[in-house]
Structure formats: structure tokens, C-alpha cells
Amino acid sequence: TFDASYPPVEGMTNLLWTLLSSLWIAAFTHIDPIHTARLLGAMLFLGSIAATYTLVLNLQEQPDRTGRVAATLSALLVASSGSMAYYALSGLETGLWVALYCYSLLVIQRLLRGQSSGRWTLLATLCALAMTRPEGVLVSAILLIGLWVIEGRSRTALKLLIGYGMFLVALELFRLWYYGSLVPNTYFAKPPGGMLGMKYLGDYLVAGVAVLGLLPLILAPGLSGLSLLIA
């Protein structure tokens, strides 16, 4: 709030990143917090690239040379995203958001491959994702519902869904109690709109994937067909 006589307003879309920032602000009082945030953002960006490589490599039971090439190209595709690198180094929550998302996919992949450990790690990761950005609430729910459906509506997946629902209720009750609203104030300051969405999409195509990102998308079908012919 800019006026002490008014109640606080959730004027940011990065609740978890803001809370985490308070840790290094308190620990390194003589260092500009933006430097620490940028360093962590860079580390999280590299972690997301590594997670992408592992995700694609794990699609094969016994990774061969083709699998390693595919994993490398996928990691390079992520690394070539200009906007992702820019925002990861900006000190914002983007690096944390992408890293949590990639890690949650890794855990889900392991669960679907029969590795039963890590279910509660997945829940904690998705709860953190929901706290990092508002759309994380929906993304986390979709991932958990997808896991529940793919696993044949297993009881364990249902427990994860219930646990996530309880966390979500607690988070929204906190927002309502402390801020007086279920959504951040930025939702009202920047209401959704079709034209604005098209602008964001255009910015992503130009600065997000850029030429390096589009080339694999253009060449992939042709290269796949060529490899099938050779095989």
C-alpha cells in the first residue's frame, strides 16, 4: 500500500518469489537484492534446460544416440528462447516458475514410469508453482487431474488432488483475509483481452522463440520423415 491508512493490496503476481526475496534481503543487507535475484534466476534457467534434456531422454527406456540428439536439440530449443533468458536474468519470478514447472513434469514422468516415490514431492512442487504465479493455480490443477486420469483414477492420485485442494483453499483464505481479494490486484489493473493476448503472442514469436527457436519447429517434420526413409 502507498498509504498507511489503507489496507495492503497484493500488487504483485509473484507471492512466493517475493517471500523468498526477503530471505536474501535479510541475509545480504549490503548487497543490492537484484544481483542475488539475477544470479538465482540464471541458475534456475540452467536447471530448466537440464530438466528439459532429462525429460526428453527419459522418453526412451534405453536411450540411444538418437535419443540423446533429440534431448540435446530440445534443450537447445529452450536455451535459445530470448525472452526466457531475458526474464530469467531480470530478477523476476520467471526462472523459478519455469524451473518448478519442468521439475514437476520430471516427477510426473517418474511416477508414470513406475517409480512410486516422489508423490508428495510433486504435491509440494505444484503448491509452490501455484504460489509463484496466479496461473499456477490452474496449471497445477490440470497436471494433477491429468495424472489422476492417466493412472486410472488411482486412490493415491486422488489424495494428491484433495491435498492440493486443501492447500488452495488455505491460500485463497489467506489472500481474502490479508488482502481482501481472492486474486492479485494486477488482475483488475490488467484485465484479460483478446487484442492484448494477440500482442503477447506476437511478442513471443518475435522475441521468445526467435529464429533459433523456429528453425527446429520448421525442420523437425522434414528431418523425421527423412530418418524414417533411411530406417
| pTM of the complete model beyond 0.75 | yes
Q: Alpha helices of 113-193 — where are they, by DSSP H?
A: 119-132, 136-150, 155-178, 186-189
Query: Is 99 in contact with 51 (CB distance < 8 Å)?
Result: yes
Give yes or no for residue 80 having a pLDDT over 70: yes
pLDDT at res. 215: 54
Quote the crossing angle between the two packed helices 119-132 and 155-178, to the nearest 10°: 30
Phi/psi of residue 224, each to 5°?
A: -65, -45
Distance CA 84, CA 89 (A): 9
Give yes or no for residue 38 having a pLDDT over 80: yes
pLDDT at res. 37: 92
Mean pLDDT of the chain: 84
Q: Classify burial at 29, counting beta carbons within 10 Å of its beta carbon; exposed 0-12, middle 13-18, buried 19 or more.
A: exposed
Task: Specify the amino acid at residue 12.
Answer: M
**Residue 23: pLDDT band with limits 50, 70, 90:** very high
Query: Is 140 in contact with 97 (CB distance < 8 Å)?
Result: no
pLDDT at res. 163: 94
**Residue 21: pLDDT band with limits 50, 70, 90:** very high
Give yes or no for residue 231 having a pLDDT over 50: no
Q: 95-144: per-residue pLDDT in tens?
A: 999 999 999 999 998 888 877 668 889 999 999 999 999 889 999 999 99
Mean pLDDT for the stretch of residues 151-160 = 85
**Residue 8: pLDDT band with limits 50, 70, 90:** confident
pLDDT at res. 210: 55
Distance CA 85, CA 44 (A): 10
Quote the crossing angle between the two packed helices 65-79 and 210-230, to the nearest 10°: 160
CB burial string 166-203: b at 16+ within 10 A, e below? ebeeebeeebeeebeeeebbeeeeeeeeeeeeeeeeee
Give yes or no for residue 206 having a pLDDT over 90: no
> Can you read off the three cell numbers belonging to residue 30?
549490503
